[in-house]
């Protein structure tokens, strides 16, 4: 099911391993989407739902921090609810992974919980990292073969990032890949010698990656280096932070990497979804990986080798003076944080963030929720910095859905969605539709080829997850979360 998800399922965070968030369902399409109507509503009475629900065997599984629900996908009725109180950062929870009859959820205190999918009973709980050091976890695990791949969060203190693979049956660690290489390993030369900076370098792995079964490679985005917003004590590119990495699924060994923001000093994680697509570059068929990164640039590389093809701005930025031979934006030195402040676009929140992008193979367009956001970056420490060595103060922002040609990175169309930074992910379908939300509480269905609004409904809140779609009993549903409530939509039944 994970390799070839059927129409009645959504078995992993992005629907399938590619990260495209594209569905082949077309019962709901551009000609009839204006008739879309709610068919059921489920309120969690909890924190905002940032998770993408999974759907397996007619049951939806979704999360908020400390909580998992199983509900009937046809009627929105609760089947079971699991709660585990924990300490730690409750900023969000992005979903579960599933393997056979077992669910896997990460927690605010950096644990991994395995539950019975049938009744929510606990199978085992393991600790991924020590929460007392500042670790926590929000991501939805990625299940690949007999591996449950999990990442960690945390940049309040200077701790190293890593990615774990654990046995789905026992929870035993199979392999661990550290974002910072050990001294003497390839990449360590991008950190200062005779310094402890590499041991405390950050690079959290807090979003779900993607996987190519043919190459048996997993692709993951890594976070910013520590100390945050200051880089004097860590000269160099600081590998493998702010990078897209390809790892061998069975061993965790690095196959290749591409760094989107060498020596980051603006908190521009590169954890955004590495989307896998097959396309043509310079007249040749290629297996590609595309990412719209937090720094405001769109990157396309070869997913077999990491060879670089495309770098382009997908929305306005001010911080780079050009692009180098490897496709890296060249930072302006004067835009680094300083005591009297540096005006930079984008802010530390980025030109996009963890919000799910999408790729539609029929249009050849990559879709991203893009932000114009200005901020003043201040350096707030003197001497050796730890954790946060600066802060930024946002001044103004607005958002748009941008459609990008993967071959060139050029913007094919732009749909404005209002003042502020969007929190909504994107779904595209073979019905020629793009589902998302604007900043005024409207759920939107856009024409995927042109960006024109075809349907909207004001739900009176914020979408903070990625929509999903599925077909049960021959009827296609679109599922979105608004605040703490799930809404399922479908076309009216003919009578």
Would you name the residues annotated as active-site residues? 267
Q: 189 phi and psi, to 5 degrees?
A: -70, -10
Q: Is 488 helix (H, G, I), strand (E, B) or coil?
A: strand
Spatial separation of the C-alpha atoms in residues 371 and 112, rounded to whole Å: 33
For residue 107, how far is the Cα from the chain centroid?
17
The Cα-based distances of 225 to 132, 275, 317, 439 in angstroms read 20, 23, 21, 31
Q: What are 60's two structure tokens?
A: 């939806």
Q: Which residues pair with 403 in a beta bridge?
A: 367, 413
Q: What are 18's two structure tokens?
A: 């590619």
| Strand 254-259 to 275-281 pairing | unpaired
Q: What distance, in Å, lies between the first and last C-alpha atoms of the chain?
A: 33
Question: What's the chain's Rg over C-alpha atoms?
Answer: 21
Cα Dmax for the chain: 76
DSSP character string of 166-232: E-TTT--EEEEEESSPPTTSTTGGGS-TTSSGGGG-B----S--EEETTTTEEEEE---BSSBT--T
Q: Is there a cis peptide before residue 139, judged by omega within 30 degrees of 0?
A: no
Residue of 299, 206, 285, 211 lying closest to 249 (CA atoms):
211
Q: 200 phi and psi, to 5 degrees?
A: -130, 30
**Beta carbons of 141 and 155 less than 8 angstroms apart:** no
């Amino acid at each position: 099911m994970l390799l070839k998800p059927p129409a009645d399922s959504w078995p992993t965070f992005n629907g399938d391993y590619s990260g495209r968030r594209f569905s082949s369902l077309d019962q709901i399409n551009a000609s009839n989407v204006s008739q879309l109507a709610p068919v059921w509503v489920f309120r969690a009475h909890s924190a905002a739902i940032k998770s993408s629900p999974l759907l397996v065997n007619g049951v939806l599984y979704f999360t908020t921090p400390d909580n998992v629900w199983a509900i009937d996908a046809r009627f929105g009725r609760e089947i079971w609810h699991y709660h585990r109180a924990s300490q730690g950062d409750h900023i969000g929870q992005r979903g579960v992974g599933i393997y056979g009859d077992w669910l896997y959820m990460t927690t605010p205190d950096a644990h991994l919980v395995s539950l019975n999918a049938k009744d929510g009973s606990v199978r085992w709980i393991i600790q991924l990292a020590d929460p007392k050091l500042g670790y926590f976890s929000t991501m939805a695990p990625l299940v690949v073969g007999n591996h449950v791949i999990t990442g960690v969060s945390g940049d309040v203190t200077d701790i190293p990032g890593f990615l774990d693979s654990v046995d789905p049956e026992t929870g035993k660690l199979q392999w661990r890949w550290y974002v910072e290489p050990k001294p003497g390993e390839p990449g360590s030369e991008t950190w200062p010698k005779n310094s402890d900076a590499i041991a405390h370098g950050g690079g959290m792995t807090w979003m779900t990656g993607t996987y190519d079964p043919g190459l048996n490679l997993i692709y993951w985005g890594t976070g910013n280096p520590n100390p945050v917003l200051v880089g004097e004590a860590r000269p160099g590119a600081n590998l493998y932070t702010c990078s897209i990495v390809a790892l061998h699924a069975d061993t965790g060994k690095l196959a290749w990497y591409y760094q989107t923001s060498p020596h980051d000093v603006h908190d521009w994680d590169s954890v955004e979804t590495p989307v896998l697509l097959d396309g043509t570059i310079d007249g040749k068929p290629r297996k590609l990986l595309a990412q719209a990164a937090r720094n405001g640039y769109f990157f396309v590389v070869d997913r077999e080798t990491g060879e670089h093809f495309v770098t382009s701005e997908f929305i306005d930025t001010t911080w780079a003076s050009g692009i180098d031979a490897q496709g890296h934006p060249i930072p302006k030195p004067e835009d680094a944080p300083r005591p009297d402040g540096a005006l930079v676009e984008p802010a530390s929140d980025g030109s996009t963030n963890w919000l799910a992008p999408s790729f539609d193979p029929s249009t050849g367009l990559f879709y991203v929720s893009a932000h114009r956001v200005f901020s003043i970056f201040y350096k707030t420490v003197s001497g050796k910095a730890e954790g946060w060595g600066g802060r930024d103060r946002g001044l103004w922002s607005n958002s748009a859905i941008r459609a990008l040609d993967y071959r060139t990175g050029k913007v094919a169309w732009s749909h404005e969605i209002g003042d502020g930074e969007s929190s909504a992910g994107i779904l595209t379908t073979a019905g020629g539709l793009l589902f998302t939300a604007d900043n005024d509480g409207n759920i939107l269905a856009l024409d995927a080829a042109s960006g024109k609004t075809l349907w909207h409904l004001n739900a009176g809140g914020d979408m903070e997850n990625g929509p999903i779609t599925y077909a049960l009993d021959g009827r296609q549903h679109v599922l979105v979360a608004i605040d703490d409530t799930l809404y399922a939509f479908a076309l009216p039944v003919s009578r």
